[in-house]
Amino acid sequence: MLFNTLSVLKKNDNSTHQPFQFSYLTILGLITALLLITGCDLTDSDQDATIFETDFRSENTDWDPFYTGYTVSDEENMEFDNGIKPLPEPLNSSENGYYITALNRSDNVKMLLRNRIDGLDPNTTYSVRFTVRFATEEPSGCAGVGGAPGEAVKVIADASEVRPEPIIENEGDDGYYLLNIQYMGDSQEWYQNAIMGNIANSRECEDGEEFEIKEVTSGLSHSTVTTNENGEAWLMFGTRSGFEGQTELYYTYFKAEFRK
């Protein structure tokens, strides 16, 4: 039986043999340590997840870009641009990325992508983990107006029951574009929970700007979403900027892992 102790022979200083006993718990601990050392994961596996992923390097995409976090009157001066483009040098220009940019006159602009997915169980609550990979030219440790051009531009992601989209607060020249899903509850709490990392790459500020690929991954339960009766949900990812300048990114890969 597993609960019986097992005996092995251990040689002592007098070359005699005495039994050395391992308990069941000791053996279980050794097995667990061995599995961890060899890279096995006892609690988490892709086999337990429903995965949605996009490789922007080689695929056309149905991801829809949009922007929030700026005044209506500034819209024509934000220098918005987006779409599939070849990756910039020194990266492999034979591969594509999803290019998105804005000039952050508001010190709060969000550059976002959204997509509706299906194939999940209807009326079911899932936890979601995200992985986002992108090309960024912003070095670490630089100063900038409003914030650092790397560290102050936060990567964010969320899953939602409703379509993420801009809503307008106030009217006329005072109108301001907000993100609807952020303002369905505590807006600051939502934002802090949505953050995955920032866009600063591995170069130091004195090394200058040069595009590198960076990947950020969230925790296992970064977001929680309940599907509708058709097993659908919305995904959204992008950045929120505290740097009052232009940011240019090329997204190359996105993954969302859904677990019940």
Cα separation, 53 vs 56, whole angstroms: 10
DSSP the chain: -TTS-EEEEEE-TTS-EEEEEE-HHHHHHHHHHHHHHTT--SS--GGGSEEEEEETTT-----EEEEESEEGGGGGGS--EEEEEEPPTTS-TTSEEEEEEEE-TTS--EEEEEEEE--SPTT-EEEEEEEEEEEE-PPBT---SSS-TTTTEEEEEEEESS---EEEESSGGG-EEEEGGGGGS-HHHHHHHHEEEE---SSBGGG----EEEEEE--TTSEEEE--TTS-EEEEEEEEE-SSSEEEEEEEEEEEEEE-
Same domain as 155, residue 60: yes
Same domain as 168, residue 122: yes
Same domain as 161, residue 240: yes
User: Would the pLDDT of 32 be above 80?
Assistant: no
pLDDT band at 47 (very low <50, low <70, confident <90, very high): low
Same domain as 248, residue 123: yes
User: Would the pLDDT of 24 be above 70?
Assistant: no
Least confident stretch, 55-59, 64-68, 180-184, 218-222: 55-59
Same domain as 237, residue 112: yes
User: Would the pLDDT of 61 be above 60?
Assistant: yes
Same domain as 50, residue 33: no
User: Would the pLDDT of 249 be above 50?
Assistant: yes
Same domain as 53, residue 157: yes
Same domain as 62, residue 12: no
Same domain as 189, residue 92: yes
Establish if 195 belongs to a structural domain: yes
Same domain as 78, residue 27: no
Closest CA to 117 of 245, 231, 28: 231
Closest CA to 213 of 151, 158, 95, 133: 133
What CATH number has the domain bearing residue 108? 2.60.120
Domain range for 236 is: 46-259
Same domain as 114, residue 239: yes
Establish if 203 belongs to a structural domain: yes
Cα separation, 54 vs 49, whole angstroms: 16
Side-chain-side CA neighbours of 25 within 13 Å: the count stands at 0
Same domain as 67, residue 31: no
The predicted model scores a pTM of: 0.81
Establish if 1 belongs to a structural domain: no
User: What's 26-70 look like in SS3?
Assistant: HHHHHHHHHHHHCCCCCCCCHHHCEEEEEECCCCCCCCEEEEECE
Domains identified in the chain, total number: 2
